[in-house]
Amino acid sequence: MQLSLPISGRAILLALLGGSFAIFANFISFMMIGKINERVPGGERISYFWWGTEVRKKFKRLYPESKLTVLLDLCVILMALFFLLLVRFWVFGSAAR
């Protein structure tokens, strides 16, 4: 009897890559929050623990020449793509076996 893993090596690689892009997107967001907090007065600062979609908009308004927003968008798109590929190869790939 041959033992098989419930998850393939391809699915593990996709999960690791998708998770890496998620962590990288989070680091970029923290960098953006730090740059925003340098420019705005104390009452308008954004917390590192409770933030939402306003970070990208406010950063784009304060730093229109920066490429961090493009890099953040790219990381989010790649994270979603790897998640969809993970679902494809892990969930639907195992049904074909």
Give the torsion through C-alpha atoms of 54, 59, 65, 67, to 10 deg: -80
Question: Does residue 1 surpass a pLDDT of 60?
Answer: no
Task: Say which residues have a Cβ less than 8 Å from residue 28's Cβ, sequence separation at least 6.
Answer: 68, 71, 72, 75
For residue 90, the model assigns a pLDDT of 79
Higher pLDDT, 53 or 16: 16
Are 45 and 37 in contact by the 8 Å Cβ rule? The answer is: yes
Q: Which helix (H) or strand (E) holds 24?
A: helix 9-39
Task: Encode pLDDT of 35-52 as tens digits.
Answer: 999 999 988 888 888 888
pTM over 0.85: no
* Cα→Cα distances 52→1, 16, 46, 57, 91, Å: 51, 25, 9, 10, 30
